[in-house]
Amino acid sequence: MAITNEILNIDEVNKLSVDDAYNMFFNCCHCQKWANLMVDARPFSSSQVLLEYATSSWSTASEEEILEAFLGHAKIGDLNALRDKYASAEQGQIKQTSDAVLQELKQLNDDYENKFGFIFIVCASGKPAEYMLDILRQRIQNSRSEELNNGAGEQNKITHIRLKKLLGIS
């Protein structure tokens, strides 16, 4: 069974081949160890058990694994990429944003990456650009350790959104 953007019930998830299940989970969180843990934990008795296991297995991720997952997110490269990012399906509410806000977002994203060595990770679903800018302004003041933990928590939220979409859960 090839994985598409279709909704799968828990029985279908449990019946996927190892490769298809791995690809499905890896597309939700770009961490090889986490995806393998999810594959190996099957069969799940329910979607809720799957989601709970996703969180508990992610909570054991090492710094290297967290950073690997962060690499699955596109880096903001220029203002056009930033506009495209905020018009994407996961972040569709952010469409009418001033260039000044977008320019500051881009600059602070660059500053953040230079400071911490990884890109700014935040669950932006449904959040306006000004809100995102406020979060970035606050978080750039943190230590690297705090930001690694913050980013890992945000990655967990993003992964859950992706898993719920896959499972047809709102």
Identify whether 73 is a catalytic site residue: yes
Question: Which entry of 73, 85, 139, 160 is annotated as an active-site residue?
Answer: 73
CA atoms of 135 and 140, how far apart (whole Å):
9
On whether the CB atoms of residues 128 and 164 are closer than 8 A, the answer is no
Torsion of CA 36, 40, 46, 49, to 10 degrees: -70
With 0-12 / 13-18 / 19 or more C-beta atoms within 10 angstroms meaning exposed / middle / buried, residue 135 is middle
CA atoms of 8 and 166, how far apart (whole Å):
6
Q: Indicate which residues carry an active-site annotation.
A: 73
